[in-house]
Amino acid sequence: MSAPETLQNWPHLFVSGEDDAPVLLTLHGTGSNEQEISALAPELDPRAGVLAPRGLVREHGMPRWFRRMGEGVFDVDDVVLRAGELAGFVTAAREHYGLGDRPLVAVGFSNGANIALATAMLHPDVVDRVVAFSGMYPFADRDEAADKDLHGVRVTTLNGRADPMAPLDSVTRLVEVLRDRGADVEQHLREGGHGISPQDLAAGREAVSRLA
């Protein structure tokens, strides 16, 4: 499938931003969409371009990025499949929108953070910079990135210590696996649970500036 066909069949939003600014690949959480998550971009870098696709999976009518069997119980085979599809979308968008070598930073919340992390771990040649709000380890008890060299991948994680939807032990495993594979990880933990706090937003803004 050609780049235009790929993009035509995938609902998304694109804003070019300034030529010397990064492009933020904004990835929404369950039940949200590309319009809502793209509103986060100006808070992180008002000069940045925005590439905001919509998750193609449906859960009780709500968009999300991959299937799950229950809260925090992911269909890992589907995670792997959808991460590959997202990598293909990003590659097609780079060509179609003439993004050239502009830095691309994946910024995801919750389910969007998880697909961003999975894509960076499986396709680091396509997505190598991630800011993950309320994300967790995306591969359950499997190590899908075991054979991946993640040197050059840079990730910032932002989590609440008491988040039942992204448990701290899963976040800890995520950071450990990323570092073991060579990724550069900056971890931020705060009190509280699921969401994006003002503290997270400030740290995310600094992370985007650093990663870009």
Write out the catalytic residue numbers.
110, 163, 194
Which pair of tokens denotes residue 68?
């799950």
State whether residue 15 is helix, strand or coil.
Answer: strand
Q: Which two structure tokens, joined as six digits, stand for 203? A: 């740290």
Structure-derived torsion over alpha carbons of residues 46, 127, 179, 186, reported in degrees to the nearest 10: 0
Backbone angles phi, psi at 133, to 5 degrees: -90, 120
Q: Which two tokens stand for residue 46?
A: 């008002």
DSSP string, 35-57: HHHHTTHHHH-TT-EEEEEPP-E
